[in-house]
Amino acid sequence: MDTPLPRHGRRGIFIGIVCDCICDCNGCCIFIILEVEFCRIKKRFVYPFTALLGQEKMKKALLLNAVNPRLGGVLIRGEKGTAKSTAVRSMAALLPEIPVIAGCSYQCDPFQPRKLCINCRAAYNGETPPLIWRRVQVIDLPVSATEDRVVGSLDFEYAVKHGGRRFEPGLLARANRGILYVDEVNLLDDHLVDLLLDAAALGVNLIGEGGDLL
C-alpha cells in the first residue's frame, strides 16, 4: 500500500511514496523510500543490501555477476514485493567507483586504451584523456523501448542539418560497464530480448545500416 509521509517544515525532509516491501505484510509497512528531498535537493535512498533478509540464491547470483560480469547477467523471477529491483539497486551501491573518460557516452576505461570507443581514440590519440570517478550506474530499460532506443541509431536531425552521419548511442551504451535492469522482461519484444542476449554473450554491440557498420 502506498503511504505518503508528511513534510516537516520549510527546511525539513520530505520522504516520498513507499514502493516495495520485503516482508509478508502485503505492503502495509514502510520499508523502502522512493525519494528524499532535503533543502530542494533530491536524492534517492537505497535500501542496504546487507539488510535484505532471505533470498540467498538471488543475492549470491548478483554478487557473482558483480565479481565476474562475463557470467552474462541474472534472471530473477518472483512475485511482487520480493525485493527484486531493491536487491539490484542496493547491490550496485556496494560496488566501488569506476574511472571513466570525461564526456564519453560509452563510459570508456582510460586505463584500457585497446578498448576505447572510436570517438575517444580520435579525440585522445596517444594523449592521456581526462578521467572522472563515479558510481556504477543502473540503467532501466522500459518494456516500451524500441530497437533504436536500445542499441542506438543514426542521428537523423544531425544528418538533415549538417548533411553528415553521426551515431546516437542507445541504452546499451549508457549501461556499458554498469548494470542494465529490465523489469517485466517477459513483456519485452522477442527481438529485443535476442539483442540483449547477443550483447551479453558477445560483449559487443554491432550496429549496421544497409550492411555497413556505423
Of 91, 122, 95, nearest to 108 by C-alpha is 122
Q: Angle 14-20-22 (CA atoms, 0-180°, nearest 5)?
A: 125
Positions in the chain whose pLDDT score sits under 50? 1-42, 211-214
Q: Which pLDDT tens digit goes with each residue over 84-101?
A: 888 999 999 889 999 999
Same domain, 109 and 166: no
Of 79, 108, 134, the residue at which a domain comes to its end is: 134
Residue 99 has what pLDDT? Answer: 95
- For residue 159, the tally of other CB atoms under 10 A from its CB is 12
Which pLDDT score, from 0 to 100, does residue 18 have?
35
Summarize pLDDT for 156-198 with one digit per residue, the tens.
888 888 888 888 889 999 999 899 999 888 888 898 988 888 8
Can you give the residue range of the structural domain that contains 181?
Answer: 137-202
Please indicate, yes or no, if residue 51 is contained in any of the structural domains: no
The total domain count for the chain is 2
